[in-house]
Amino acid sequence: MSATWEESHVARTDAGMCALWQPEHFTAVTDLDSWENEVAEDDRLVAHMRDGAFVPLNVGGDGSWQVVVRRGGLTARESRYRLVSSEPYLLVSRGAVALGGLEDVGDDPPTMLPLEAGRYAVTVHLIEWDAEPGALGPEGNPTERALSDFVVEVGAAGDGPYRTRVETFDRP
């Protein structure tokens, strides 16, 4: 992988949050009972975060969001419209990570992203894309040039500490 790399995808959820996760960590999640045991409770999610297997993209609601996952920092445009950033989470990749809604965690993730095996510090940025002039079309929909909702910055892991909160962003 080059020094900079990115992929952009839509992530949807009806379970209250989207996430990046290590798919190998959740291969035992194959039905509703196993999903409820491993994913439905915050204390289990925190344990998965400590293992570097789960990074929440959590704004506390259902919906669809455009997510850019990038090795490298924010662009100048994104920096201008960055609303808030998380503290870094630990993510351990075995060659790919999954992106989707919380309900998608398990044996069949909707989106797989190639990511070299290794340990990464992941910072989630919430972008106020609709504040940029020209980002909204006449009917209130995003234009082709609109920024994404989230930019997930993937960087080299250090010694930590790493965030282990289900809420991606601290409230003021």
Which residue range is the domain that position 50 belongs to?
5-156
Question: What is the pTM assigned to this prediction?
Answer: 0.93
Q: Is residue 124 part of a domain?
A: yes
Residue 3 has pLDDT above 70, yes or no: no
pLDDT of residue 5: 87
Q: Is residue 171 part of a domain?
A: no
Percent of the chain whose predicted confidence (pLDDT) is above 90? 87
Residue 1 has pLDDT above 60, yes or no: no
Q: Is residue 169 part of a domain?
A: no
Q: CATH no. for residue 125?
A: 2.60.34.30
Quote the number of domains for the chain: 1
Residues 6+ apart with CB under 8 A from 94: 22, 24, 117
Q: Is residue 11 part of a domain?
A: yes
Residue 138 has pLDDT above 60, yes or no: yes
- What are the pLDDT digits (tens) for 44-73? 999 999 999 999 999 888 999 999 999 989
